[in-house]
Amino acid sequence: MAKSSEPAVGIDLGTTYSAVATIENGRPKTLLNEEGELITPSVVFFDRNTAVVGREAIKAAEHEPERLACFAKREMGDAVFHKSICGQQFPPDVIQAIVLEKLYRDAQRHLGPFTKAVVTVPAYFNEPRRKATQDAGRMAGLDVIDIINEPTAAAIAYGVQQGFVDASGQATKHERVLVYDLGGGTFDVTLMDIKGAQFRALATAGDVYLGGVDWDTRIAEHLASVFLNDHKVDLHADSAAWERLMHAASEAKKSLTARDETVVPIAHESKKLKLKLTRAEFESLTADLLDRTRLTVRRLLKEAGLAWKDVTRLLAVGGSTRMPMVGRMLEEESGLKFDRSVSPDEAVAHGAAVYAGMLLKAGGAIDGITVSNVNSHDLGVLGVDPETRRPRRKIMIPRNTALPAQVTKPFKTARDKQDSIKVQVIEGGTDSGSNATAIGTCVINDLPPLPAGTTIQVMFRYGQDGRLAVKASIPSIERDAHLEIERASGIPEDDIVGWADCIRAGLGVPDEG
């Protein structure tokens, strides 16, 4: 494969902060944004004439919080963001696209014109969320050449930095790394096996609704409760006051990382309060959140059929791992030292850049690395139980199956004189199909009337690139149908083009009326 003229670019599109990295002389390097910072807040302020991203968005929102959109990553794949901006609604994908466009623009200041990039996602993202991330990249003007899971990217960056991956891409020794990734809004834990040039995910688990912002919210709720008790004023009722309180809570959390106690000032109108908060109180307020991550790690090891003695390294990724309670809990659980040698803010972007260099043969990239993943959610078919006549899920590819994977299973028609077959493809959910995500439908129409109990063979082929191929066939009459899903369906194509034009033109939101 010829070397690419494109630079190797990796983008960590985070819930609270994002970062961009490239490869220079074979090593990953974070690119500074226009403000001279390594990381960019993933927030958008919809001004009247344009959208503002990052630190300036946070400043502008102090007086008009109703124009601020943040934590959109948690809602990727949903139809609309939960909060309307001056009466207008936006898909979360569009909000993330605006963040990406800012990152893209800032990167071009260093690298010159380019289009191709690898963008990261939580390992526990389902297919619609992955598709939404790709769509966001397109709307920002990027050619997203691949999506890589954040813990996998962090493991690659760690291997390169620590030198147990040499210039040819070979690991100098066998490592089994547990990557604990607690970011601002999402949590992932992935067990990676690194042997030779192979980076192989063994199992993954996580929670897309758990991150540092939940720790902030606990502090803010505590402060609001004290303020209500002392001054009989509910700070929830004023969006600007709540925004300031959340900021104060975040700063208090950071202080308690370095100190045993801090004082949080709260001011609203003419009323003021200074509240002392100790690290012990903070840890008590949030103990259940930490326990959720502990239980997820235990479940991961159980599903992988491994124990802590099988793990050689415990890697911390994500800004929220700076909280002392996290490292203490994991060291007690594992008996291993909590490794903080990589930058929790930069590791994911660095790994994505290394992976981009590998794909593009660019930037003096390390050669020979192969990356293999597992699927993070069950993939199956939703049918009807012939006895109860109720919906019933049949799993085709269980979660944590090594990819690529191919499975064929037989099904039976449920009734006589059936003249069409519909195979509903779903992801996740319960055995009854509850809480499952619809992925697509494979249909065979215009059949001769079939008797009940006719065999239908259903084949799933799930590739490393996220493409799911489904084939339904009826051997007795030699009829079949094919469905190939390149990620799940998201924003319609025409809307993607329209939003992209709006973002490039500068997307402002005038006042209502």
pLDDT per position as a tens digit, 179-226: 999 999 999 999 999 886 778 999 999 999 999 999 999 999 999 999
- pLDDT, tens digit, 9 for 90 and up, residues 263-305: 999 988 888 889 999 999 999 999 999 999 999 999 999 999 9
Residue 165 pLDDT exceeds 80: no
| pLDDT digits 0-9 by tens, 361-398 | 875 556 667 888 899 999 999 987 777 878 899 999 99
The answer to whether the CB of 122 falls within 8 A of the CB of 211 is: no
Domain shared by 203 and 177, yes or no: yes
**DSSP strands (E only) in 184-329:** 187-195, 198-207, 261-268, 271-278, 313-317
- Edge to edge, what strands does the sheet with 44-46 contain? 51-53, 44-46, 68-69
Within this chain, do residues 368 and 419 fall inside the same structural domain, yes or no?
A: no
User: What is the pLDDT, as a whole number, of residue 486?
Assistant: 63
Instruction: Show which of 341, 374, 407 is a domain's final residue.
Output: 374
Residues 152 and 253 in one domain: no
Residues 104 and 62 in one domain: yes
Quick one: tokens of 13?
A: 């599109």
Please report, for residues 122, 153, 249, 334, the alpha-carbon distance to residue 162 in angstroms, rounded to integers and kept in the order given: 23, 14, 35, 21
154 within 8 A of 315, measured Cβ to Cβ: yes
Is 509 inside a domain boundary?
no
Residue 107 is part of which domain span? 9-209+304-374
Tell me how many domains the chain contains. 3
Name the percent of the chain lying above pLDDT 70: 94
According to the model, what pLDDT value does residue 5 have?
A: 78
C-alpha gyration radius of the chain: 24
For the segment 435-445, what is each residue's pLDDT rounded down to a tens digit? 998 888 888 88
Residues 362 and 406 in one domain: no
Determine what percent of the chain is predicted with pLDDT higher than 90. Answer: 63
Q: How many CB atoms lie within 10 A of CB 460?
A: 21
Q: Is the pLDDT of residue 6 over 70?
A: yes
Claim to verify: residue 80 and residue 141 sit in the same structural domain? yes
Give me 253's structure tokens. Answer: 């959390």
Q: Which of 348, 374, 400 is the last residue of a domain?
A: 374
pTM of the full structure: 0.90
Smallest CA-to-CA distance from 292 within 210, 351, 200 is with: 210
Catalytic residues: 12, 73, 150, 181
Residue 512 lies in a domain: no
- What is the DSSP annotation of 415-453? STTB--EEEEEEES--TT-TTPEEEEEEEE-SPPPBPTT
Q: What is the mean pLDDT of residues 491-497?
A: 86
pLDDT for 1 equals 45
- H or E, element range at 137: helix 127-139
Confidence band for 46, pLDDT divided at 50, 70 and 90: very high
Q: Are residues 191 and 281 in the same domain?
A: no
- Asked whether residue 276 falls in the same domain as residue 197, the answer is no
CATH of the domain at 430: 2.60.34.10
Task: Return the CATH number at 77.
Answer: 3.30.420.40
Q: What is the DSSP letter of 472?
A: E
The reply to whether 510 falls in a domain is no
17 with 161, same domain?
Answer: yes
Which of 80-94, 103-117, 467-481 bottoms out in mean pLDDT, i.e. has the lowest? 467-481
Asked whether residue 299 is domain-assigned, the answer is no
CB 99 within 8 A of CB 139: no
Residue where a domain terminates, one of 321, 354, 374: 374
The strand order across the sheet containing 175-182 reads 338-339, 313-317, 175-182, 187-195, 198-207, 370-372
Cα separation, 376 vs 296, in Å, equals 13
Could you tell me if residue 511 is inside a domain? Answer: no
Mean pLDDT of all residues in the chain? 90
CATH number reported for the structural domain that contains residue 271 in this entry: 3.90.640.10
Task: Examine the pLDDT at 462 and tell me if it is beyond 80.
Answer: yes
Compute, in degrees rounded to 10, the torsion defined by CA atoms 358, 361, 366, 372. Answer: 20
Average pLDDT of span 92-100? 97
> What local confidence, expressed as pLDDT, does residue 487 receive?
59
222/480: higher pLDDT = 222
Here the tokens at position 71 are: 């934590």
Is residue 309 over pLDDT 80?
yes
Within this chain, do residues 418 and 330 fall inside the same structural domain, yes or no? no
The yes-or-no verdict on residue 490 having pLDDT over 80 is: no
* Three-state SS sequence of 5-30: CCCCEEEECCCCEEEEEEEECCEEEE
Please say whether the beta carbons of 464 and 373 come within 8 A: yes
In a domain, 500, yes or no: no
Are 188 and 197 in contact by the 8 Å Cβ rule? The answer is no
- Provide the 10 A C-beta neighbour count for residue 163: 8
pLDDT higher than threshold 80 for residue 488: no
Instruction: Give the integer Cα–Cα distance in Å for 427 and 32.
Output: 38
Q: Indicate if 28 and 115 belong to the same structural domain.
A: yes
Task: For residues 472-497, give the mean pLDDT.
Answer: 81
Instruction: Provide the token pair at 284.
Output: 């008590």
Torsion, Cα of 208, 213, 219, 220 (10° steps): -110
> In this structure, is residue 184 part of a structural domain?
yes
Cis previous bond, 448, omega within 30: no
Give me the mean pLDDT over the 81-91 stretch: 92
Question: Residue 366's pLDDT is what?
Answer: 63
Position 404 in a domain: yes
Instruction: Report phi then psi at 173, rounded to 5.
Output: -155, 165
Query: For residues 429, 466, 342 and 208, what is the CA-based torsion angle, rounded to 10 degrees?
Result: -20
Residues 21 and 167 occupy one common structural domain: yes
